[in-house]
A and B are shown apart, each in its own frame.
Chain A
Amino acid sequence: MLERSHIQSSGFDNVSEGGAVTGFRVRLRQPNYRGTRVSLVEGIDVTVDGEAFPAARNRYRIGGGDYAHGELEGLLDLRWPVGTTIDVMVPRPGGLTPGVHHVETVVWYHHPYFPPQFRPIPVRDGRHATIIL
């Protein structure tokens, strides 16, 4: 089973490319009560220790695929089911320092059954999480 918080402890890690640490990832469980077409997720903002990483610059690993922010809108048939996680890939040369960080996320949902003025609606989480290496 997954942790109650949207942000998961496991999965929070630095990521490397070509031998260099290029950024970090944050793992989120589906925080909505229903699974959603990925096209209904308008993006995910990440903030670590007050440093903002806006949704548009992040990449998204969903169901084995890797997508840029601009691709989300077209993913009508890819779903993010309840009880599963996705990884938000955040570019930051050198990654994060090992230790405990305060991580915040905002998932921007486009719920067709919400009044139009609340599309998108932000779903927030925040907690401490640990980078080991």
Chain B
Amino acid sequence: MSGAFKYGVSLYSYTDDLGTVMTLEDAFGHIADAHATGIELLGEANLPDYPELSTAWLDRWYGLLDGHRLEPTSFACWIDTEASRSRELTVEEAAAQLCLDLDLAKRLGFRFVRPKFGVIDDELTPHPVWEEAVERSLDLAAKHDIVIIPEIHAPTPIRHPVVEAYVDFIQRTGTKHFGLLIDTGIFQDRPLPFWQHETPEMREGAMSFLNGIKVPVEQLAEVIDHVPFIQAKFHHIDETLHDHNIPWERIVPMLKSLGYSGYLSSEYEGVRDPWVAVEQVRRQHALIRKLEREYDAAHAGQGEQADA
């Protein structure tokens, strides 16, 4: 028998609701009420004084975690390698940014940090400073017991030089404090509606990945040993619990067969009308939990038979 998934929610899901129709307290309530156990936070979105962190805010954070019985999962940060039109970060500056976020994550109780590096091409190849910046941060990550997990995000598939470079880095350094975050958007196999500011020209060009890059779920097996965290990206689940873009009916059994027992952290990225995200996250958890139960029921007793 494989282990059970853990269920979490990223505060990203409530983008635009937070601060207009929803407080942080409301968001905690919605996440806990969805029977989730983990919460994912975005530093430069949800911390009001980022990069500062007041003791009053820390008290509020830990009070909310205790009150709702939630644990911090992943802390999202950005390494803005092209910090303006005319200014690129040096390795030292990029490393300092990552270390700053590792410190913040530690104070907030997180086990993972997801850095989003600036990119140099349409395939989202990270700026070359990433490798040395991460290497210089590994000792601090070890001290804080945090794993740094850049995301594998569409249009970058699993079989790609970006992923190879990350895996090579793990093998070269032997570190246990660097891994891969899989964003389930890479498995999207049906097109997204045009987003608010998208033009047909953009969709035909570099944004064609929004039609879905359709990574075969079987390829998860090639990297799963390096994947401690999954962002459950999704866009729309209808009232019959049918996801219009992400093939959960193939993703869930594959993750179960590979023994994945980490978090699935909801990242709703659909229509941004008020409160839609609250219901969408609930539907996603109902859907994935149903598929997990079905897998478990279909494979019940197999362990015993194997032992006999």
Contacts and interface: CB of A to CB of B under 8 A. Distances in A.
Contacts of A33: 12, 15-16, 42, 45
B18 A112 contact: no
Interface residues of B, number: 39
Interface in B147-187: none
A4 B45 contact: no
A2 interface: yes
Contacts of B67: none
B124 interface: yes
Given A3-B20, A34-B45, A81-B48, A123 B83 contact: no
Nearest to B123: A115
B119 interface: yes
Contacts of B49: 81
A100 to B, nearest CB: 22
Contacts of A36: 44
Contacts of A116: 119-122
B301 to A, nearest CB: 45
Given A4-B16, A82-B19, A35 B85 contact: no
Given A33-B12, A33-B45, A113 B116 contact: yes
B119 A42 contact: no
A37 B80 contact: yes
Interface in A34-67: 34-37, 39-40, 42
27 contacts: A1-B21, A2-B19, A4-B20, A4-B21, A33-B12, A33-B15, A33-B42, A34-B42, A39-B83, A40-B84, A42-B85, A73-B84, A76-B84, A76-B87, A81-B48, A82-B46, A83-B19, A110-B84, A112-B78, A112-B80, A112-B81, A112-B83, A112-B127, A113-B119, A116-B119, A118-B206, A119-B82
A39 B124 contact: no
Contacts of B121: 115-116
Interface of B: 12, 15-16, 18-21, 23, 42, 44-46, 48-50, 78, 80-87, 116-122, 124, 127, 196-197, 202, 205-206, 274
A79 interface: yes
B19 A115 contact: no
Contacts of A82: 18-19, 44-46
Interface string A93-129: 0000000000000000010111111110111100000
A117 B122 CA distance: 8
Contacts of B84: 37, 39-40, 73-74, 76, 110
A116 B124 CA distance: 9
Nearest to B45: A34
Contacts of B122: 115-117
A129 to B, nearest CB: 17
Contact of B20 (A1, A34, A79, A122): A1
Interface residues of A, number: 33
B82 A110 contact: yes
Contacts of A110: 82, 84-85
A112 B126 CA distance: 10
B135 to A, nearest CB: 20
B50 A35 contact: yes
Contact of B206 (A29, A112, A117): A117
Contacts of B118: 112-113
Q: Which 3 A-B pairs give the minimum distances between C-beta atoms?
A: A112-B118, A83-B19, A39-B84
Contacts of A1: 19-21, 23
Contacts of B50: 35, 79, 81
Contacts of B274: 4
A122 B197 CA distance: 7
B19 A112 contact: no
B83 A83 contact: no
Given A1-B19, A113-B119, A122-B197, A40 B80 contact: yes
A110 B50 CA distance: 19
Contacts of A83: 18-19, 48
Given A79-B50, A115-B124, A73 B85 contact: yes
